[in-house]
Structure 1
Amino acid sequence: MSKEYKCHKISGGKVKGELLFSKDGLCFYLIDPKTGEVIEKEHCLYKQSIANKILVFPYGKGSSVVQADGMYQLKMTSMNPAGMIVINADTTLAASAIILDAPMVNKMDSTFYDDLPNGTMVELDADNGLLTVL
């Protein structure tokens, strides 16, 4: 039996991908839309690609225009994350995810953060508030 974790839907959708954890907040404008790589030098994911990953991060940073445009540029080049798990979803981040049809959840079971490492293959079913380890 596969392990499941409950979560709260912010933006709907059902996707599969590898988990990629970030301890730092994320500004989507500081991600290269050609490669999906984080270009913010002080970021813990510097030079790593978020493309097609289930991105786990604490919060978004940057203005509403910067966040929405950064997400949009990534989506246009197919370098966007497959889905997002955020700890503190502000209005800008949530609205951007909804507008760009990007699955996003929050309020994960507390054990999720201790149980699973980077690279774990999961299915995120935002519509039903469920993350399943594959």
Structure 2
Amino acid sequence: MHEFRLRKIFWDSGSEIRGQMLLSKKQVSFLGDVDVKTSEIVAEDSDVVGERIAKKIFAFPYGRGSTVGTYVMLQLAKLGKAPKAIINRKTESIIVAGAVISNIPLFDTPEPDIFTLVEPGIYKVCIVDKGEFAVMRLE
């Protein structure tokens, strides 16, 4: 079982988050890479193309792209298709804004670096609030 310390950027409530984590090693733009109606990853160059992010903990190293991605995240939330949480290696402002307005828990700076240790795919995880930081365990 792997354990990772996460920096909490935005987590409005709760002591833990459990569920499936979809991990990609590629950058993601919510505008263009994610189908807002289905939550499917549609970017042809993605290592998780065809997977859906709805109600999953979505881990990807960096965001890329347009400020409109913030509103795509909000639309996903309104449609019940948003991720349960987001984990980045380093979070950029578009992802922060989208997570806050969509009430999606957001974490970054995993130690050790999950993006170098774990292959792309789906994993069962638990994220636990430890005060100033969170701990994620692969189960």
User: Scaled by the length of structure 1, what TM-score is found?
Assistant: 0.83
Residue of structure 1 aligned with 2:135, choices 125, 130, 134: 130
User: Do residues 53 (structure 1) and 38 (structure 2) align?
Assistant: no
Change beyond 3 A, Cα 1:111–1:79: same
Name the structure 2 match of 1:43.
46
Q: Spell out the pairing of 1:96-115 with structure 2 (5 A cutoff).
A: 96-110=98-112, 112-113=114-115, 114=117
Q: SS in structure 2 opposite 1:46? A: coil
- Checking the alignment, whether the CA contact within 8 Å between 2:24 and 2:120 is kept in structure 1 is no
2: CA distance, partners of 1:23 / 1:117:
6
**1:94 partner amino acid:** V
Aligned residue pairs, count: 132
TM value normalised by structure 2 = 0.81
Question: Where does structure 2 lack aligned partners over 5 or more consecutive residues?
Answer: none
Alpha-carbon distance, 1:112 to partner? 3.7
Aligned-residue RMSD, C-alpha = 2.2
Q: Distance in 1 between matches of 2:50 and 2:114?
A: 25
5+ residue gaps, structure 1, are none
For residue 15 of structure 1, the aligned residue among 9, 17, 20 is: 17
Q: Percent identity?
A: 26
**Change over 3 Å in CA distance of 1:98–1:126 after alignment to 2:** farther
